Structure 1
Amino acid sequence: MDVNGIDNLRQQKDAMTASLKENMDFLNRKLDIDKNFDLVYRVIQIGGREACMYFVDGFCKDELMQKMLQRFMDIKPEELPENAHEMSKKCVPYVEVDLQSDFSQIIYFIMSGVFALFIDGYDQCILIDSRTYPARSVSEPEKDKALRGSKDGFVETIVFNTALIRRRIRSTNLRMEMFHAGNSSQTDIVLCYMENRVDQKFLEQIRKRIQNIKVDALTMNQESLAECLYQKKWYNPFPKFKFTERPDTASAQILEGDVVILVDNSPSAMITPTSVFDVIEEADDYYFPPITGTYLRLTRFLIAILTYLLTPTFLLLTQHLEWIPAGFTFIEVKDTVNIPLIWQFLLLELAIDGLRLAAVNTPNMLSTPLSVMAALVLGEFSVNSGWFNSEVMLYMAFVAIANYTQASYELGYAIKFMRILALILTALFDIWGYIAALLVMVIALVSNKTISGKSYIYPLLPLNLKRLARRFIRYRLPGARE
């Protein structure tokens, strides 16, 4: 059969034939073997028949492949089974073996690192999952640290991440469903949930959304997936997902009936559905006794409120000095104000983000001297030069540090955007602008919805006092004796 005939056959059936030559001609052209140096194929003899194996160099375990090749070459013609099914059962000394005749699936597995074996006369390909990925150790993540608890974290290899969850939940009700998204990237996506605790209606909704994703590639992994799953009200800055790099946090959310989404090449898990109370919670709330955990949780709530209200309230009081109580007159700006306070606040908001970006991109060997330089220039020198007042620098320093009490970057930036809006409205419209900013904040929270369509501030709205109390107070675990 000529090349055009082979292509026409594949377009009609997209399936293998029993001819090894036809299958090799199609795959060699489809994979462009001559140009891709890391795509390797080798023709061998198995039981007197021609055979060919395809794999990606760097994804295969060399010692294991050598042992399997030795086993294949030792097969005598009379020992060779008549079909691929019997071959996989009797002559393939490996655990993870599958059969496939669909070329689209075969190519997907080859590109994923699976070892593919074709034998002349077999109309099915034998897929041997002996791949290994370059991976770092499951050490504690740099961001999601906890004072107590486990010190392991998710990595970029999705199989390792599922194993970390399986290690913590040894239940037959734990489900891990695999999906693929992206025409070019074919990114692996895993849904993790408890069959007997998850909201089945919501789970089916997530399944359909993932299956209906029509993109070429998930270039930014989890963020690309998040934008595909939730396309409503993109302008609302409050996060719709909770991200964690801690396997213990992800496992706890699964046990509570949530759905955890793992994306290949991403070292964190997406937790959904997520309310604002879920985002604020941290692992340390549960690794300490109830009274300490409650204190940590309430402290985090109060600091989040302060980071939003502090600078707009100070700006409002400087516009109405008569509103300052007698015992708090020390908060008045004593020095000469060369630049309006609103511009000082906005410039420092921008400068803080500039320092944060600079810290990310600064080489480790230069981080210490540059930090000292930045502290001097943006600290004492900027006040002495008259650009900024010391009171403004103090409050913005508190805001910059307090932002890191939130583990969620998305929530921190949502509060930042609302704070900037409050500063601008207060400067333009005085007390009415301050009130309008508070209303915008409340409307943004109330009108926001989780990905399941429920209230973003439940159990505050609709009100459930018992559940609301549990959001602020850390109770003992169920079943703990008095």
Structure 2
Amino acid sequence: MKISTNIDQNIKTFQEQLHCDKNFDIVYRTIKIMDKTACFFFVDGFAKDEIMTKMMDAFFKIQDQKLLTDAYTFSKSCISYGEIGLEDDLDKLFVALLSGQIVMMLDGFDRAVLIDARTYPQRTTSEPEKDKVFRGSHDGFVETLVLNAALIRRRIRSPELCMQHLSIGTISHTDVSICYMNNKVSQTLLNQIVQKLKSADVESLTMNQESLVEVLLKRKWYNPFPKVKFTERPDTTAAQILEGDIAILVDNSPSAIILPSTIFHLMEEANDYYFPPLTGAYLRLSRFAVLFVAIFLTPVWILLTQYPDIVPEWLKFILITEDISVPLLLQLLMLEVAIDGLQLASLNTPNMLATPLSIIAAIIVGDYAVQSGWFSPQALLYQAFVTLANFSQPGFELGYALKFFRILLLIVTGAFGIWGFVAGVLFLLIVLVCNKTVTGKCYLYPLVPFNWQILKRHLFRMNIKNHTTKKRR
């Protein structure tokens, strides 16, 4: 549906469609520019008052009637603000208006002028709580798409950096930006992603980035392993883009989606590159070692307690010598759930109460749980280590995926002994090998299929020059 050349008809249409009598924040104002009537529609809180004041001052000073012949001449000659456009489709005008742009209509014009003088309420670009670094930049993404794009532009000053804009959702019209290096990205993958996003038949991105990931990846619900990497750091995002990856920014989300990603990409962290190669390699290898121990510590302990005869003498201290009221397997399963319960409780605890409540919880839950006979000290110790080890991983998604398999491994080991343990390990390996990335490669690439040149760059922190001049895949 097109706009009318009659300004009164346009005002009436906008008032009816936007329910101006019910929405207090939809503001419109009518002014006279020489002998023509002009009307502004905008959302209160999105428009910049200073820019609007300066533009209106300029409009009142117009003396040449020739400048008001058509929308194109008027926009080029009378509007000094740079970000403007012309549109005659009413649906697109409504979306632009509700996105924060100013819609200006003049009597007799067959197109409206869109003035992008919007500003969004936002917090500061402080360092994210999860992706902290010892050294390096301490800024992070916020919930405003334009500012997040600027943080990346600040780091990549190349004309090859492209940020393609899309609008997703028939109702929400959420702004999405696909960021990539035009001379490095896989054009096949890029076209595939763009096509999936353009054809997404969704009303809104209710869960923001997770909804977008589910649009891109039609994975089975029972596969917990993440296929994309989330990061709230602009420097990490810029580094991934420079390596040929694709970053997707979603408005109202303070993190970027990086793809394609294997399990090795999910294990990388910014701290690896803010230290010398030897220190960075040590941090990365330590992270892999801690991950391995976190998966197998409690299942191996359950297995050894079932076969005390095979435990060497120097390792006898891990065996349970006192009487226990609750089976060890049930203790560990209860602790797995209890730890998640405490984490959820901490999210809803006010900051001023977090520290004292943590101390109380440690004393009561730790001490009295052992004294009551519900839990053994060893079970609490090993589960505490596993819990802390999960926080050494950069992403929550991978940590929970491995947690689910650790619980499965605990159950089959406790039920079937060594054969259950072997079957559980084989099942985990089969799932990882059969899992595919967005590009169709194995989730364990470059381990499966084996490629030592790429694998060593994932395992060891290489020299920056060598790391950036060679593509990872």
Q: With the length of structure 2 as denominator, give the TM-score of the two structures.
A: 0.97
Specify the code of the residue in structure 2 equivalent to 1:444. V
Give 1:246's match in structure 2, choosing from 214, 233, 238.
Answer: 233
Greater than 6 Å deviation, 4+ residue runs: none
The question of 1:458 aligning with 2:445 is answered yes
Q: Which moved more, 1:149-158 or 1:234-243?
A: 234-243
| Structure 1 segment 64-103 matched on structure 2, within 5 A | 64-76=51-63, 78=65, 80-103=67-90
Deviations 1:26-81 (A, max 9, x none): 22111111111100111111121111110000111112211211221222363533
Identity fraction in percent: 51
CA contact (8 A) 2:261 2:437 kept: yes
The question of 1:411 aligning with 2:398 is answered yes
Find the aligned partners of 2:431 and 2:227 in 1 and give their Cα distance. Answer: 12
CA contact (8 A) 2:67 2:73 kept: no
Q: CA deviation at 1:479?
A: 6.5
Specify the code of the residue in structure 2 equivalent to 1:262. L
Give 1:218's match in structure 2, choosing from 205, 211, 216.
Answer: 205
The question of 1:36 aligning with 2:23 is answered yes
The question of 1:51 aligning with 2:38 is answered yes
| Structure 1 segment 310-321 matched on structure 2, within 5 A | 310-321=297-308
| Structure 1 segment 169-188 matched on structure 2, within 5 A | 169-188=156-175
Deviations 1:126-147 (A, max 9, x none): 1111111001111111111011
Give 2:362's match in structure 1, choosing from 375, 389, 399.
Answer: 375
Q: With the length of structure 1 as denominator, give the TM-score of the two structures.
A: 0.95
Specify the code of the residue in structure 1 equivalent to 2:349. T
| Structure 1 segment 166-205 matched on structure 2, within 5 A | 166-205=153-192
Find the aligned partners of 1:116 and 1:318 in 2 and give their Cα distance. Answer: 73
Q: CA deviation at 1:17?
A: 2.5
Q: CA deviation at 1:174?
A: 0.3
Find the aligned partners of 2:14 and 2:122 in 1 and give their Cα distance. Answer: 29
Q: Which moved more, 1:238-247 or 1:330-339?
A: 330-339
Q: CA deviation at 1:22?
A: 2.1
Aligned to 1:112: 99
| Structure 1 segment 270-349 matched on structure 2, within 5 A | 270-349=257-336
Specify the code of the residue in structure 1 equivalent to 2:317. F
Aligned to 1:10: none
CA contact (8 A) 1:47 1:80 kept: no
Specify the code of the residue in structure 2 equivalent to 1:273. P
Aligned to 1:148: 135
Find the aligned partners of 1:334 and 1:87 in 2 and give their Cα distance. Answer: 89
Q: Which moved more, 1:247-256 or 1:56-65?
A: 56-65
CA contact (8 A) 2:31 2:37 kept: yes
Q: Which moved more, 1:460-469 or 1:390-399?
A: 460-469
Find the aligned partners of 1:435 and 1:341 in 2 and give their Cα distance. Answer: 19
Q: CA deviation at 1:366?
A: 1.1
Find the aligned partners of 2:10 and 2:448 in 1 and give their Cα distance. Answer: 61
The count of residues paired between Structure 1 and Structure 2 equals 467
Deviations 1:294-325 (A, max 9, x none): 10000000100100000000001001101111
Aligned to 1:231: 218
CA contact (8 A) 2:67 2:77 kept: no
| Structure 1 segment 405-444 matched on structure 2, within 5 A | 405-444=392-431
Q: Which moved more, 1:313-322 or 1:75-84?
A: 75-84
Question: Secondary structure of the residue that 2:288 maps to in structure 1?
Answer: helix
Find the aligned partners of 1:287 and 1:113 in 2 and give their Cα distance. Answer: 39
Deviations 1:458-478 (A, max 9, x none): 111111111111111111122
Specify the code of the residue in structure 2 equivalent to 1:49. K
Find the aligned partners of 1:370 and 1:477 in 2 and give their Cα distance. Answer: 45
Find the aligned partners of 1:223 and 1:406 in 2 and give their Cα distance. Answer: 20
Find the aligned partners of 1:332 and 1:205 in 2 and give their Cα distance. Answer: 54
Find the aligned partners of 2:174 and 2:288 in 1 and give their Cα distance. Answer: 37
CA contact (8 A) 1:179 1:188 kept: yes
Find the aligned partners of 1:460 and 1:47 in 2 and give their Cα distance. Answer: 73
Question: Secondary structure of the residue that 2:52 maps to in structure 1?
Answer: helix
Find the aligned partners of 2:22 and 2:205 in 1 and give their Cα distance. Answer: 25
Specify the code of the residue in structure 2 equivalent to 1:46. I
CA contact (8 A) 2:30 2:37 kept: yes
Question: Secondary structure of the residue that 1:40 maps to in structure 2?
Answer: strand
Q: CA deviation at 1:220?
A: 1.1
Specify the code of the residue in structure 2 equivalent to 1:415. L
Give 1:162's match in structure 2, choosing from 149, 152, 170.
Answer: 149
Aligned to 1:255: 242
Specify the code of the residue in structure 1 equivalent to 2:277. P
Q: CA deviation at 1:335?
A: 2.3
Question: Secondary structure of the residue that 1:478 maps to in structure 2?
Answer: helix
Deviations 1:62-112 (A, max 9, x none): 122112112212223635330110101111121111111111111111001
Give 2:111's match in structure 1, choosing from 124, 131, 136.
Answer: 124
Aligned to 2:351: 364
Find the aligned partners of 2:79 and 2:29 in 1 and give their Cα distance. Answer: 18
Deviations 1:320-363 (A, max 9, x none): 10111121111111222110001100000011001101111101
Task: Give unpaired runs (5+ residues) of structure 2.
Answer: 468-473
CA contact (8 A) 1:96 1:129 kept: yes
